[in-house]
Amino acid sequence: MERVLVVGLWCAHPDRGLRPSIRQAVSVLRFEAPLPSLPAKMPVATYGPPVSTASAPTSIDTSAGR
């Protein structure tokens, strides 16, 4: 159970550059590689402003062609 939790946290690391590849994660889950060392404190995730959707349509007309 510990292995699954550690790999899950590793895959969800806020810094994309520190996340494992699928191959690395599966290798750890198959006991082919040692558990990674996670930091005692994970960095705080930061989020950018939402992408503007001003040019995207807000609805789709599905009545055409009926």
Helix/strand/coil (H/E/C) assignment for every residue in the chain: CHHHHHHHHHHCCCCHHHCCCHHHHHHHHCCCCCCCCCCCCCCCCCCCCCCCCCCCCCCCCCCCCC
pLDDT at residue 66 above 60?
no
Is this model's pTM higher than 0.75 or not? Answer: no
Q: Which residue has the higher pLDDT, 63 or 24?
A: 24
Instruction: Give the gyration radius of the chain's Cα atoms.
Output: 20
- What is the rounded CA–CA span in Å between residue 20 and residue 63? 46
pLDDT at residue 41 above 90?
no
Residue 42 has a pLDDT of: 72
User: Domain ranges in the chain?
Assistant: 1-33
Residue range 43-64: mean pLDDT, rounded:
67
pLDDT band with cut points at 50, 70 and 90 for residue 58: low
